[in-house]
A and B are shown apart, each in its own frame.
Chain A
Amino acid sequence: MNLAQGVLDGDRLALARTLSQVENGTAEGKSALSALFPHTGKAHLVGITGASGTGKSSLVNQLARYYRQPTQTGKPRTVGIVAVDPTSPFTGGAILGDRIRMRDLAGDPGVFIRSMATRGSLGGLASATSAIVQVLDAAGYDLVLIETVGAGQSEIDIVRLAHTTIVVEAPGLGDDIQAIKAGILEIADVLVVNKADLPGVENTERALRGSLSLSHPPAQRVLHHGRMVNVPGQPPPDKDELVWIPPIQRTVALDGTGIPELADAIANHKIYLEATGAWQRRERWRLQTELDLLLQNTLVTDFRAHLPAGAYEQAVDELVSRRITPFQAVESLVSNADIKYKEAT
């Protein structure tokens, strides 16, 4: 069976097997990826991230259900879903439990859900996630929803992969200082306050809005110590330049409240990306990041293969006993390696 052709023909078994080969980094997987690459670049990649227990999986379930309804303008859209859960650092095993919340999607041929474990990767995704997403993109899914592991403050690989990043918060998770820290809130294109039926939702939303208004202050006239003061707000953007201010959406993923509005916000973000050329810029950035990673891996593997036997272990030994510094170790390894890339003449 030619895997790549099967994927393009819509064969679900071929798609599932290709995803495994790609995830395991086999030669078969690499050749399938190469065959599929020209067919990628069409899907809208939407990342969903946020702390554990904020309701990411349930939200993905509701969003996919929404996209599967016929729209005013045409057919329902097809949805690929990649759900990432953590690998145990001790045993290498994993429990992938995101499907539990996605049972409404069972039996729908327009949805394909794939769970994957991080396999030691720390940025909230697995190292193969971006390749898995490429395969689903090539398979023709209109949207690919990528759910990260429960993310804290710096698991932000998703921003390099997705066109639109949704950060999910829930009431009662932290004060407004959490909201101005760098990291996860900075990457949000759309902010969601899920579980909006719980008490405290106003506080959470206010903290998020406050944090956003620090980076996008609105012009206003306020009474300050008894005097009216004009606050100029953010300088007006260059002519014709659109500015995206992340909207804050309230949702209740259990009953679907707020989901159409969230889908609208996602669609608006896509329009913004396309209108400003940011879509192309993000594509370029993403592919460049991927190329860098691949180049690093390839070069390091190749370099190690060209080291004299035992040289690497010896360098580590000398590091441990503090006889050399890390910089010296690198220098000595590089000069010892029997390797030469084509020299400029």
Chain B
Amino acid sequence: MNERKIRVLIAKPGLDGHDRGAKVVARALRDAGMEVVYTGLRQTPEMIAEAALQEDVDAVGLSILSGAHMALVPRVLELLKANGQERVKVFLGGIVPDEDVPLLLKMGVIGIYGPGTLSDTYISDIRKALLAENA
């Protein structure tokens, strides 16, 4: 079968155990026809980068509600780059204070989607980011 499926890794780095949001996003991406690798709770940035490499995903979604995003996100981005996967799109969900948003976007995160975000928003953002990449 010749088809190009969008593959996305959904992971929860850090120590908080609130995975409802991650599961909702995983489910929404599945319903949008994507293949979602779900890795579960308490992942280190190293585990996430390794899974992203082995699975050759197009995008990585991180769900962080512990407040540690300014430590975890740069580390994940750094490791992806070190593995030669700088083209992988990274997006965030969870609780991120407004003042951190510009900094994270500057680091290369494609979008930050807090509670209440419509699934269409991040689905179309992911598609757009990948289309721009392949154009």
Contact = CB atoms under 8 A, between A and B. Distances in A.
Given A13-B83, A26-B2, A91-B33, A112 B54 contact: yes
B78 interface: no
B113 interface: no
B53 interface: yes
B56 A16 contact: yes
Given A100-B38, A114-B55, A92 B5 contact: yes
A94 B27 CA distance: 9
A96 B51 CA distance: 12
Contacts of A26: 2
Given A12-B53, A95-B30, A115-B55, A24 B3 contact: yes
A107 interface: yes
A95 B38 contact: yes
Given A93-B31, A95-B27, A96-B37, A13 B53 contact: yes
A249 interface: no
B111 to A, nearest CB: 20
Contact of A106 (B29, B30, B46): B46
Nearest to B32: A93
A172 B85 CA distance: 45
A99 B5 CA distance: 19
Interface in A5-20: 12-13, 16-17, 19-20
Nearest to A119: B1
Contacts of A92: 5, 33
A106 B3 contact: no
Contacts of A40: none
Interface residues of B, number: 33
A112 B51 CA distance: 9
Nearest to B47: A106
Q: How large is the interface on A (under 10, 10 to 19, 20 to 34, 35 or more residues)?
A: 20 to 34
Contacts of B51: 99, 106, 113
Interface string B1-32: 11111010000000000000000001101111
Contacts of B44: 106
Interface string A13-41: 10011011000111000000000000000
Given A13-B53, A91-B33, 5 more contacts: A20-B56, A91-B31, A93-B29, A96-B37, A114-B54
15 contacts: A12-B54, A24-B5, A87-B35, A88-B31, A93-B31, A93-B35, A97-B37, A99-B38, A99-B40, A106-B44, A112-B54, A113-B54, A115-B37, A119-B1, A119-B3
Interface of A: 12-13, 16-17, 19-20, 24-26, 87-88, 91-97, 99-100, 103, 106-107, 112-115, 117, 119-120, 127-128
Closest 8 pairs (CB-CB, A-B): A93-B30, A100-B40, A16-B56, A106-B47, A92-B33, A20-B56, A96-B37, A93-B33
